Amino acid sequence: MYYNISETDIYLFHQGTNYYSYKILGCHFINWNGQSGFRFSTWAPHAKNISVVGDFNDWNAESHPLQRITNEGLWVGFFTDIPIGSNYKYAIVTPDDELILKADPYAFRSELRPRTASITSKASNFQWTDVKWKKKKKKYNPYTSPISIYEVHLGTWKKKDGEFLTYCELAHELIPYVKKLGFTHIELLPLLEHPFDLSWGYQITGYYAVTSRYGTPDDFKYFVNECHKHNIGVIMDWVPGHFCKDAHGLRKFDGQPLYEYQDPKKAEKHGWGTLAFDFGRPEVQSFLISNAIYWMEEFHIDGLRVDAVASMMFLNFDRPDWEEKIYNSFGGEENLEALAFIRKLNEVVFERDPSFLMMAEDSSDYPLVTSPTYLGGLGFNYKWNMGWMNDMLRYMKIDPIHRKWHHQLITFSFMYAWSENFLLPLSHDEVVHGKKSLLDKMPGDQWQQFANLRLLYGYMYTHPGKKLLFMGGEFGQYAEWKDKEQLDWHLFDYPLHNQMFQYFISLNHFYKKHSELFELDHNPKGFEWIDPHNIDQSIIAFIRRNKNNEELIVICNFTPVVYYDYKIGVPKEGTYIEIFNSDEKQYGGSGQTSDSKHFTFPKKWHGFSQHIKVKIPPLAITIYKKIKEVEKEEEIS
């Protein structure tokens, strides 16, 4: 035993299978031989000497030395004279006899930027009260359940007197807002400690420290606990692919490449100015997999959106033209170590919580991303459908008069819709860097812009796949995301934005109420085309089904033309009524709605033995349902 660190713990860490390495490395307040104090432990195989320095010893590198306890470079020390809440770093003597100061890779708390030290702390005594949520999760099947996610950057959702809201303030303001909107989950842009506000959190210096910008770790636990109390899941963006080069961070931690690849061609991410983790190094695997488990078990996080998966999988991802390409041992461009790491990560996560969400933000066409590892897949349970997002935004930008020449953009996604378990994202990446907001991408006058956006959201919510929307989209923010300022809340003073907000509330709650829209998301039985071919009028129609074979008839009109007595083939004889229409006046539409009953005509149309005649509103989505199914639904509710 080394101050309560066992030989087994050490062995597993160096084997890459200590999935709770955060319990042995870093700074821990322990009792040892009747004395209380802080145990410090870090991994630095190239270091000549290491000591703990801080305000408590005037940053004296001779005062609190660590002892090297393994040939593989584990260092440990125990001190009784360091106060709780002290700032500290590791003073490391490199192989070149240079003294460098590094923050603790396993620190649970960090100083508020621009300061960069780690902070000593005792174990949390936070009292969780989310037992009901945890019981519910044990029965939760994400594939057959509704998932609609509100993506949030906490620093710019809302501010108070120009300052960030705290985790506790956000719990009292953001959660009721999300609850009202009807979202099932909140996804948070990376909350791991990072040095620069405008980085959005994707360049990490503290993987185990929730950012101090908005409060303490216990404050964040309070936020998560409150989310669960209101039946809202919490997903966090996670960045296992690369880390930033800040001097106090992981880069050349002991004077040599350690967490990053030694080969600079594999390590350098030129486009981002970051370094790739060495996925083949066992200790790095212990570090990263333990980090996922840490957020899952210590903070009760319900899922991770794994950032930039393609950059991990491919050796030449975003490699500049001037640099020679590199290849794996089989001559391919796949990073075999990263693929093995991803499979191992997902296996470990799902072994502990089968209901956990592991969502790959993957821009590649690599196959079987969401297939189990035992079938040769990567083991994620969801993948962002970047193809659908790119096609739809490209299509919606086109003036309706020209859309018939690009009709394939709204139908092509069904060529691969069931190849993976997809999530449809309209994320922060689409509303920054001059790309314009979603509303501002839409063509036409102001009325048409709002109608187009309502239509886009309606098609998104009826298309197979789970849903994600970045903050501000729910009320039609005109300006693209400003990463220094809060959302444009003053827009609620304008009717069209208020009506867009009401529309999104209705759409989200409609989605959650109708199992046809989510129960068979990943099964082709849950979808059937009625008519994907009406190019001239830019109208599509399709069916969504649930396990009980109940059906919704969905019609999307991508032009500003109204059509009367439009024939739609339907699979069942009977009477249909309109149950949703994005053109309602309460949503800012033109009011081309129908409260009539639509009887089927016994004449073949669209390949079905009967059809109905309906009114098609302009730039709108309408949804119809057979009356008996509506009555059954009302009885259940």
Annotated active-site positions, please?
307, 361
Asked if 376 contacts 367 with a C-beta cutoff of 8 angstroms, the reply is no
Q: What does the alpha-carbon distance between residue 365 and residue 422 come to, in Å, rounded to a whole number?
A: 13
- Burial per residue of 203-224, b for 16 or more beta-carbon CB atoms within 10 angstroms, e otherwise: bbbbbbbbbbbbbbbbbbbbbb
| CB-CB neighbours of 501 under 10 Å | 18
Look-up of token digits 């009367």: 564
Question: 1 vs 4, 19, 51, 235, 332, CA distance in Å?
Answer: 5, 19, 20, 37, 45
Dihedral, 120, 125, 127, 133 alpha carbons, nearest 10:
50
Identify which of 330, 323, 311, 371 has the alpha carbon closest to the alpha carbon of residue 347.
Answer: 371
Asked, as a colleague might, if the bond just before 142 is cis with ω within 30 of 0, I would say no
Handedness of CA 207, 212, 218, 221 (dihedral sign): negative
Q: How many CA atoms lie within 13 A of 336 on its CB side?
A: 7
Question: 53 vs 42, 90, 118, CA distance in Å?
Answer: 14, 6, 11
Asked if 421 contacts 461 with a C-beta cutoff of 8 angstroms, the reply is no
Dihedral, 276, 282, 284, 286 alpha carbons, nearest 10:
140
- Burial per residue of 421-443, b for 16 or more beta-carbon CB atoms within 10 angstroms, e otherwise: bbbbbbbbbbbbeeebbbbebbe
Identify how many contiguous H helices and E strands the chain contains and give both numbers.
Answer: 15, 31
Tokens for 442, please give them.
């839409």
Asked if 45 contacts 94 with a C-beta cutoff of 8 angstroms, the reply is no
Handedness of CA 506, 507, 510, 511 (dihedral sign): negative
DSSP for 318-370 reads T--TTSPP---TTS-SB-HHHHHHHHHHHHHHHHH-TT-EEEE---S--S-TT
Which residues make Cβ contacts (< 8 Å) with residue 459, sequence separation at least 6? 392, 410, 556, 621
Handedness of CA 32, 292, 244, 263 (dihedral sign): positive
Identify which of 398, 500, 397 has the alpha carbon closest to the alpha carbon of residue 454.
Answer: 500
**Most distant CA atoms of the chain, gap in Å:** 92
